[in-house]
Amino acid sequence: MSVIQGIAATASSLPPASSLSGKTDSDGDCHGFLHNAALLLCSTTFVLYLAFHAKKNVRKLRHGRSLIMIAYYLLLWFTALLNLAWCSLQWPVNKLDRL
């Protein structure tokens, strides 16, 4: 138990990560246009790739009947769509921060 208490004491004495970089959330540090465009482009491309191969993959999953692979494929779709939504929602937030 003393090891866990020592780690907790060390972690509580560290300054927040924002103070280490010298920037705070109110500084409005946001990434530039190219960064956001690259994130959105990569995320969109990956979702389009999944959609292009979806019919073949679903057919394979039906015939294989592996619940692990079905769960993996569903988790992959969920993660890809969540990432696309996050990238899309970052776009207007960064525009509002600059005003």
pLDDT digits (tens, 9 = 90+) for 7-39: 666 656 656 655 555 555 444 556 777 888 888
Mean pLDDT score across all residues of the chain = 77
Domain ranges of the chain: 30-98
Q: Over 90: is that where the pLDDT of 1 sits?
A: no
Whether this prediction's pTM lies above 0.85 is answered by: no
**How deeply is 28 buried, as exposed, middle or buried, from its count of CB atoms within 10 A (0-12, 13-18, 19+)?**
exposed
**C-alpha–C-alpha distance, residues 87 and 41, integer Å:** 9
The tens digit of pLDDT for each residue in 69-83 reads 889 999 999 999 999
Kindly state the average pLDDT of the residues 33-53: 90
Determine the pLDDT at residue 96: 58
